[in-house]
Each structure stands twice: as structure tokens, then as C-alpha cells.
Chain A
């Protein structure tokens, strides 16, 4: 027994010594390691150093089948593996050719004819052609609504399919027949969930397709270590000449914002998503780093549940709009990296009403309105988001500022918070008096903001404020099938006027989400939707 114990101790001490050696030796072994590795790889590819980009982000993907997911982290990866028939502009949501090189729309807006790129192959060797497009649409259309969520929410209205029929006219011509005109139809087709997948692969893989995604994109799927990293490699047979420039992209999940910044500062990752506005000075102070701004397509707001007193009174809602000092909030918590919001959608979106100037910050006016409304000073509950989002960097602090503003005009409030899943659930059920929340647009269309967030159809879904107005509803519904862009914009402008008068929310800010990267990362242009293809990116 004695011997056993002393041997055990000896082993443990040896382990410790070994560790210390490994620790101390790291400085000298590291350069050797990399040279060895580079040598090996140079021999293999007979080229210069491989272009490997490590992208650090806040969370892992849910699945790599873009058709079945709704989360942004999944689309960040699938944008590189799959391509859509149409593409968004590099940094906006204008419609450009994708896998379809040209298209025609019939005058009644019911028939869309797409000419497809020829000679494109999926990663598994299957040909990309009209038949493949038809099979993809059939897969989405035939699947359950809760599975292919985006397809049904974009291409279905009142239980009726908007895409009535899809026909492969010849190998490279596809015709879409619609049951009614849909204004944002082309923009919808450009959304990440509608990436065209290899029919051979999804028919064979079934539910496992999300683990073995096959598209036509610039990168092929290699490996997924869950909650850790996803690796994709260059598609050598990519149809666009000279692209992609990178050999490998590794998407790493680093949940904690400060830890992700640390990894960037230590040189372990090349790009970091989700930079706190308060960390801007650290990045600007580092000569090896660059700050990257994502174009803004979001809204952070204070929702006022329109069915709960005192916010069932429009005068109280207007008073709250006058009471909150938005400019100070933007300066203090967004570090100035945001635009003060006036309407429920950002000004870059077509249909934005520029004539509305918003409620000025005027506590006196607010008090008058409250008196007129007969508000009796009953305290309200003010709910603060528990998680940071690009549109709301720090819910708790913003809530504190709002609490002070409200107190100044005589509305006492207590700040409350719960975990994120519960928060959304309870907001959804209309249980909050006033709450902070926000939205990032999917396709850059006014419909995706106004109808989604404030139409009575979406109460119980995204209309957390329980705002219901028949006039607004009629305007938004007719705008959905209006093909004339100018008429359509006019309808949205009218809707915004009514919404402004009715003040269902206090729109706070349209923020600029921040990323940071190493100096050498070039041609990376973040997209306002939050996900983009990295095919043009290279490392100098």
C-alpha cells in the first residue's frame, strides 16, 4: 500500500512538471509548430500559405439546411454553401441575378419566367437545372408549415399558396405561376432560406440533410463540431471564375462577447461578430485591427401594450413618446452608432415617410397630455431585455434611462426582467405594460417591418404591442399585392402617418451593428440582413 501511494504521488508530481514544461515551452515551440505545418501544407498544395479565415460569432447554427431554420447564425453559414435564384445587392436589398441570370414578369404580375445559369453543378456532382429548382420548390411547398416555416410565411396568404405552380419549361427555364400578384416576390426569393439544394442529396438524406448540406455555393461543407466550429472548404468547381478566394472558412462559436474580443486581440480569429459599442475604442486603438460597420436594417423600440391600461389611451402613448429623450439614449448606449428612430422602419427602406418628423422630446407637453388623458399616476412595469442584441446593446441600462424620463413626467415605473425565452413568451401574450424589443429585417421590404410588426394579423406573433387598426390593416394588405412601386410606397406612407398618430410604440433607434477584423481581411462587406457570402473575401 505504501508503495502504491508513493507511486501515485510520483506520477502526479511528474504530471505537474510536465505541464509546467509544456506551459513554458509554448513560447519557443509555437513558431516551430507553424513552420512545420506551413511546410507540410506547402508541399501538399505547392502554393503559398493557404487562405484560412476564422470567423468568431456568438452562437452555433441550429441546422445547415437553410429551408428549415429561422435563426441568423444558421444562415451565416448556409449563405456560403447554398445559392438562391436571385441575390441581394452587396450591401443593400436590391435584387440582382443569382442562379437565375435573367427574368421576365408578365404584365398582370402573375407569371415569372427565369433563365438559369448553365453548366452549374451541385457539390455532389448533380446538375443544377430547371428540374432541380422545381424539386426544391415542391419540397418546401409539400412540407409541413412548421418545418418549412419561411416558405409558408412568405408564399402563403390566408391559407392559400401564392406560388400556384412551378414548371420546368426547358432545361434552363423555370416558370412560376402565382395565384395573386405579390409585390415583394423577387426580394423574397433572394432570402437565405430559399437556397437551392441538391435534389439527389436531400432525397437521399431526408431529415439528416441539415448535417450534410449540398448546394452550388462557393464553399463545400466539411465538418461540424457542435457548439464549437463549422468548417467549409473552397468549391474548386465553382461556376464564377476566380472565386472564392479563401481556401477554408471556420465558423467558431464564442458565446461571451468579451471572450470573443479577447480571441480577436490574441489573433486566434480573423473576424469577430457582435462587437459591443463600448469596445470600439479598444479596436480603434489597435493598429492590427479594423472596425467594420454592418449597414443598419433594424429597429429598437419601447413597445406599449395597447390593450393594457394606461396604454390603452392614445394620449398616454403620445405623452410617453414626448417624454423619452431618444437622442441622449443613442449617444449614451449606442456610442452614437445609431440613428434616432422616427418611424417603425429605417429610412433606407423604400416607402419610408420622410414628412413625419417624430415626437420631439418635450416633458412639459407630455405632462399636459397625461393630464388631459386623466392618468392617475398608477405605476407601470417596464420590462428590460435580458440579452444584448444589435438593436438593443444593453436593455437594462436603456430601461433605467427611460425610467428616469418617465418619472420626470410623473409616470412611476419598476424595471423587470426575465430570461429571453420567457420574455418573448410573456410579451407575446401581452402581459407586459411597456417593454423593450426590436427587429432586424429579413428582406428589406416595408412589408417586413410594418405588416410583420404592427398589423392586427400578427397579434400573438410579432405584433407584441397588440396594436390593431383596421385602416392600417387595409392599407398594408393592399400594398402586399400592389405591383406599381410608387402606388405601393404611397400606401406605406399613409400607414406610417396613422401609426405615428396612434403611437403604439416609442421607436428608439436604428443601430449600426459592429464587427471587427484583422487589418489584412479585405473585401468583406457585411450585409444588412445579417448574413452574406464570403466568396470575395481574401486575407492579405
Chain B
């Protein structure tokens, strides 16, 4: 197993390097000048030229790229053109905010999606099956933007149950340690704040979870249906074993591989696709960090932000691959 992980990690290097290169070229191909955006509408041409020089933007692209790579090798992601802060320190709170939200959304999606799929498969062609699959179809096709605003309208404005936006009650802010607020509040023994943090997670969590939840439900259903047609399940059902036992002991384990693949892929997509949710719910996450950087043509931030997200995407795939062998002992990595 270990050599396999090592090999996979080595493979990461060319993948990420290729990524930085592509991102580097694409963002420089789009028109728009960071110096002009930084100086605002009033600036004169000479000033813009001076600032470009100071920011190193007047160098040929390959020199800029190698400078960037050199920095990466020493663990330096560069400095934001806009805020002048080192990205390494600036990026962490955003990243933590997104990971917390994404994990929360994934737990929601997996728990609800898988169970809905399992029940649909077990009671195939029942009213629950039809209903769940119709909901799943709506879930896949629902625009997140619209869903988010509707959630705010229903649960915050009309019912007053949940906050509309943000990560915390700004009037009683969380003291950040790790920047994972659920963990921070527990470390400080602030159970009240822990619950508040959870409340802030629910609406964006649901908005973000909807699509993966629907996809997982559909995948689980079809995968389970296939397994349940097999002889050993039929035997177990004939023996009169309880549904929970048959499903969770016997069937699920064999149906899990494709489901796990989908979960892995969806988690990666979730990380990259959190921009809309983060904008509607003013969630200070990495999606918004990159989005705002694009508006300001803050090249180092765009590059590093995408690099970090890509890194996590690849890591999730690695974890999924490792989990395969844990679930199905026939899979070996030699």
C-alpha cells in the first residue's frame, strides 16, 4: 500500500505542474490589467506602467512563470497584488471555511442521498421510489443561485429559524484558532457558539449538497438494484432476514465501489464549484477568494487558489482509491 501511495504522490508533481502552466497561460490571455484595476479609474498611463514594473508584470511571461515556480519550490505562493499580503498566510482562513462547508455538505449529501437510494432500491417502484427519484431529478436541475435565495426567503425571513448569510454571529464572533469554527468553538468549550456555527452551516450546506445528494441517490439506487438481483441477497431475503441487516451487512458493501467513486468526484466538484453558494451566502471561502481575485486580475492569487483546489481534488481521488481496497479486499495495489 505504502509504495502505491508514494507512487501516486510522485505522479502528482507533473499533474500539478501542468496545471500551474495552463492556469498561468489562460489568465494572462484574458484582457484586463491588474495595475489599472489597483490604481482605479483615475490613473494615468505612466503610473500604470510604473506599477506594472514594480509588480514584475512587464517581464516576459516565461520569466514570470519561472519566478512563480521558484517560489513554489520554497513553499512561497507569492504575494497578492491587491492586498500585498503573502498568499500562504492569507489563504488558510478561506480554505478552512470552504473545507468546513464542503465536508458538512458532503455528510448531508452522503447520509441522505445514500439512504434515499437504498430505500428506493429496496422498495423499487413504490411511491417512495418514484417520489425520491423525482426529487433527485429536480435536485440535479435546480439552479443553486435560485435555491439559495429561496432558502433565505423561507427559512430566514419567513420562519426566522436560520441566519441568511455569513459564517458566524458577527455580534458574538468566534475566536479563530484553526479557522474550522466547529472545532474552534469546541476547543474553547463554547457549546452555544458551536450550535450557532452549525446553524450558519445549514442553509449553504443544503444548497451545496443538493446536486451531489441527488446524484448519489441515483447512483446508490442503481448500484443497489444490481446487487440485490444477485443470488446471495435473494437467499438472505428468503431466509427472512431483516432489511437493515441484508442491506447494510451484505448488499451495500458490494454496491459501494461505484457509489464511492461518485462521492469522490462530487466532493472534488463541490470544492471547485462552491463559488455560487459562497457568493449568495457571503461565505468567506476559497471560491469567493478566487472569484474576487479574477475581478481584480490578481494573478498570483488566482494561480495559487486554483493550485490549492486542484491539489485537494487529486488528494480526494487518492483517498477514494485507497478506500476501494479497504472496502473490497479483492482490490490490491501492487
Q: Is the CB of A252 within 8 A of B282?
A: yes
Q: Which residue of chain B has the shortest Cβ distance to A460 in the bound complex?
A: B45
Q: Is the Cβ of B50 less than 8 Å from the Cβ of A226?
A: no
- Give the shortest distance, in Å, between B260 (CB) and chain A (any CB): 12
Query: Does residue A428 face the partner (Cβ distance < 8 Å to B)?
Result: yes
B32 with A422: CB separation less than 8 A = yes
| A33 located at the interface, meaning its Cβ lies under 8 Å from any Cβ of chain B in the complex | yes
Report if B47 contacts A (CB, 8 A): yes
A226 vs B289: C-alpha distance when bound (angstroms): 9
B222 CB within 8 Å of chain A:
no
Chain B stretch 149-179: residues in CB contact (< 8 A) with chain A: 149, 152-153, 156-157, 160-167, 170-173, 176
Using a CB-CB cutoff of 8 Å, which residues 152-193 of chain A contact chain B? 153
In angstroms, Cα B47 to Cα A458, docked, is: 12
Whether A462 pairs with B280 at a CB distance below 8 angstroms is: no
The answer to whether B110 touches A12 (Cβ under 8 A) is yes
Taking a contact as CB atoms under 8 Å apart, the answer to whether B282 and A255 are in contact is: yes
**Residues of chain B with a CB closer than 8 A to A487's CB:** none
Q: How close is A401's CB to chain B, nearest CB, in angstroms?
A: 25
B334 on the A face (CB < 8 A): no
Residues of B within 8 A of A223 (CB): 173
Report the minimal beta-carbon distance from B303 to chain A, rounded to whole angstroms.
16
Tell me, yes or no, whether A19 is within 8 Å of chain B by CB.
yes
A6 CA to B292 CA in the complex, in Å?
43
Residue among A9, A27, A37, A461 with the highest chain B CB neighbour number at 10 A: A461
Q: In whole Å, how far is B71's beta carbon from the nearest beta carbon of chain A?
A: 18
Quick one: which of B42, B163, B171, B281 contacts A52, CB cutoff 8 A?
A: B171
Among B36, B157, B172, contact of A428 (Cβ-Cβ < 8 Å): B36
Query: In this complex, which of B43, B50, B279, B326 has the most chain A Cβ atoms within 10 angstroms of its Cβ?
Result: B43
Name B40's closest neighbour in chain A (CB-CB): A70
Closest to B84 in A: A207
| Alpha-carbon gap, A1 to B249, bound state (A) | 10
Partner of B31, one of A2, A29, A228, A426: A426
B165 proximity list for chain A (CB < 8 A): 254, 259, 262-263, 268
A115: min CB distance to chain B, Å: 32
B contact patch SS: helix
Interface membership of chain B positions 40-53, coded 1 if the CB is closer than 8 angstroms to chain A and 0 otherwise: 11111101101100
**Cβ–Cβ < 8 Å partners of A205 in chain B:** none
- Evaluate contact between A259 and B149: CB separation under 8 angstroms: yes
- State whether A62 and B111 are in contact (beta carbons under 8 Å apart), knowing that A70-B40, A223-B173, A262-B157 are contacts in the complex: no
Instruction: Knowing A71-B40, A227-B284 are in contact, say whether A26-B157 is a contact too (CB < 8 A).
Output: no
Residue contact A5 to B248, C-beta cutoff 8 Å: yes
CA distance A255 to B165 in the complex (A): 11
Using known A-B contacts A23-B161, A23-B202, determine if residue A227 contacts B292 with beta carbons closer than 8 Å: yes
Interface residues contributed by chain B, number (CB under 8 Å)? 75
Stretch touching chain A among B58-66, B133-141, B190-198, B226-234: B190-198
A227 pairs with B289, CB closer than 8 A: yes
Contact: A252 with B47, CB < 8 Å? no
**A439 CB–B CB distance under 8 Å:** yes
Across-interface contacts of B45 in A (CB, < 8 A) = 460-461
Q: Decide if A419 touches B32 in the complex (CB within 8 Å).
A: yes
- Note all chain A residues with C-beta closer than 8 A to B253: 5
Indicate if B221 sits at the interface (CB-CB under 8 A). no
Min CB distance B44 to A, Å, is 5
- Nearest chain B CB to A143 CB, angstrom units: 12
Contacts of B3 in A (CB 8 A): none
Chain A positions within 8 Å of B93 at CB level: 225-226
Chain B CB within 8 A of A256 CB:
yes
A262 near B153 with CB under 8 A, answer: yes
Closest to A258 in B: B149
Q: A62-B82, A146-B48, A252-B282 are in contact. List 20 more A-B contacts (CB 8 A).
A: A2-B249, A12-B111, A23-B199, A52-B171, A70-B38, A70-B42, A146-B39, A149-B47, A226-B94, A228-B282, A229-B170, A253-B282, A253-B284, A256-B282, A262-B156, A265-B157, A418-B31, A422-B31, A422-B32, A461-B41
Distance from A526 Cβ to chain B, minimum over Cβ atoms (Å): 21
Complex alpha-carbon distance, A419 and B31, angstroms? 10
Please measure, in the bound complex, the distance between the C-alpha atom of A420 and the C-alpha atom of B40, giving whole angstroms: 12
Give chain A residues whose Cβ lies under 8 Å from the Cβ of B294.
Answer: 419
Interface string of A260-278 (1 = CB under 8 A from B): 0011011010000000000
Is A421's beta carbon under 8 Å from chain B? yes
Identify which of B41, B85, B162, B163 contacts A462 (C-beta below 8 A). B41
User: How far is B41's CA from A212's CA once the two chains are assembled, in angstroms?
Assistant: 27
Knowing A23-B202, A146-B39, A422-B30, say if A255 contacts B288 (CB, 8 Å): yes
Which chain A residues border B326 with CB–CB below 8 Å?
Answer: 1
Residues of B with C-beta under 8 A to A228: 166-167, 282, 284
Does B83 contact A63, Cβ atoms closer than 8 Å?
Answer: yes
